[in-house]
Amino acid sequence: MQNNKRPDSMKRITNFELANAFIDEQVAIVREQVGDKKVLLALSGGVDSSVVAALLIKAIGKQLVCVHVNHGLMRKGESEQVIEVFGKELDTNLIYIDATDRFLGLLEGVSAPEQKRKIIGNEFINVFDEEARKLEGISFLAQGTIYPDIIESDGVKAHHNVGGLPEDMQFELVEPIKLLYKDEVRVVGEALGLPHAMVYRQPFPGPGLGVRCLGAITRDRLHALREADAILREEFDNCGLAEKVWQYFIAIPDVKSVGVRDSKRYEGWPAIIRAVNTTDAMSATIEEIPYAVLHKITARITAEVDGINRVLYDLTPKPVGTIEWE
């Protein structure tokens, strides 16, 4: 097994030739480490876990068991993409859990951001733990740990992707991309044949839309948020902003204002656009979106999404505002 220090001699992976050499090396290491045993992976659909899954499928095929938990707080189409890519195209040993009702039930009436985060994190572990206990012969736990995780935590980032399993379930870790930076992970992902959109997926918080549906989460507001966010992403794709902006999303506060529809007054929520650029997430600048694009996004969201009657653009850099609202 490798240690947690990236060798000075290790070249930055910038092309398919270097990526394929890395993949071949890791396939050999994983096969030697795992032998004929089974490996469990929490597959979120994020860049890191997806690349680890694709790499391990290449190395050990059906010995890998992927568990995808849909907590009901995913963006539109994300769980469907995981099922399509891994369940169908790559014929992965994939267990899909739709735990939407379970999560939203626990979150009902909870408005404090930290409490929401804790509920979502703890329940994810509970669901994953329940699934892990149903499986037999699992000896290893794979994780999408990458090098910045190790640097940030000084070499200790236990259960990076699953948030921690009970102490009586200790697996040996498999962390094939732990010496890579994020840009290298993306090159490796494309070399493994993953879809471009999956490999270049934006950063997405663990609690998902739970921290963008501000205050106590309701199903109607969560649905409006998911639909509005999908429109924002589609329009950014259409106008070429998608890969120029590091992170862009909608947040919807638990506030209503009066609006007009079909010549009648009605109350609706505002959708707040956040679009920022950053190199390290410690500070962030605001992306200048052309007014024509903002107008189009506004027109579509207010016309197509029930319950939203205003669109706002958050112009606050970090500091003073954090990237997420909660």
Same domain? 54 vs 174? yes
7 found inside a domain: no
Boundary (domain end) residue, out of 167, 199, 231: 199
Residue 114 pLDDT greater than 50, yes or no: yes
The upper half-sphere exposure of residue 319, i.e. CA atoms within 13 Å in the direction of its Cβ, equals 1
Pairing of strands 64-70, 38-42: parallel
Same domain? 249 vs 226? yes
pLDDT of 242: 92
Share of the chain above pLDDT 70, in %: 94
pLDDT digits (tens, 9 = 90+) for 129-144: 899 899 988 999 999 9
The arithmetic mean of pLDDT across residues 196-224, rounded, is 94
Angstrom distance (rounded) from CA 293 to CA 74: 25
6 found inside a domain: no
CA distances from 192 to 9, 38, 161 (A): 24, 21, 21
pTM: 0.88
pLDDT of 138: 92
Residue 158 pLDDT greater than 70, yes or no: no
Same domain? 218 vs 307? yes
pLDDT of 171: 86
Residue 21 pLDDT greater than 90, yes or no: yes
**What is the number of domains present in the chain?**
2
**CA angle, 48 then 38 then 17, to 5°:** 45
pLDDT digits (tens, 9 = 90+) for 25-56: 999 999 999 999 999 999 999 999 999 999 99
- Provide the phi-psi class of 272: left if phi over 0, else alpha when psi is between -120 and 50, else beta: beta
The upper half-sphere exposure of residue 94, i.e. CA atoms within 13 Å in the direction of its Cβ, equals 27
Residue 173 pLDDT greater than 60, yes or no: yes
Same domain? 223 vs 270? yes
CA distances from 229 to 56, 170, 310 (A): 32, 38, 14
Share of the chain above pLDDT 90, in %: 82
Same domain? 227 vs 268? yes
231 found inside a domain: yes
Looking up residue 64, the CATH number of its domain turns out to be: 3.40.50.620
Residue 296 pLDDT greater than 50, yes or no: yes
Residue 161 pLDDT greater than 50, yes or no: no
Same domain? 236 vs 297? yes
Same domain? 286 vs 162? no
Whose CA is closest to 93, among 140, 44, 43? 43
pLDDT of 165: 57
Same domain? 150 vs 29? yes
Same domain? 238 vs 188? no
Same domain? 143 vs 66? yes
2 found inside a domain: no
Mean pLDDT for the chain overall: 92
Same domain? 234 vs 158? no
49 found inside a domain: yes
Angstrom distance (rounded) from CA 7 to CA 10: 5
Residue 156 pLDDT greater than 60, yes or no: no
Same domain? 188 vs 110? yes
118 found inside a domain: yes
pLDDT of 167: 63
pLDDT of 4: 79
Boundary (domain end) residue, out of 142, 169, 199: 199
236 found inside a domain: yes
pLDDT of 261: 86
The arithmetic mean of pLDDT across residues 70-80, rounded, is 96
Boundary (domain end) residue, out of 171, 199, 227: 199
Q: 264 pairs with which residues across the strands?
A: 261
CA distances from 67 to 51, 135, 204, 208, 219 (A): 15, 11, 18, 17, 25
Residue 128 pLDDT greater than 70, yes or no: yes
CB 143 within 8 A of CB 161: yes
The arithmetic mean of pLDDT across residues 233-240, rounded, is 96
The arithmetic mean of pLDDT across residues 212-237, rounded, is 98
The arithmetic mean of pLDDT across residues 156-181, rounded, is 69
Range of the domain at 180: 16-199
pLDDT of 162: 45
CB 19 within 8 A of CB 188: yes
- Count of helix runs (H) and strand runs (E) in the chain: 10, 10
- Which stretch of DSSP H or E encloses residue 78? helix 78-82
CB 67 within 8 A of CB 41: yes
Pairing of strands 64-70, 257-261: unpaired
pLDDT of 321: 96
32 found inside a domain: yes
Looking up residue 305, the CATH number of its domain turns out to be: 3.30.300.10
CB within 8 Å of 149: residues ≥ 6 apart: 157, 160, 178
Residue in the structure block whose two tokens are 């189009």: 296
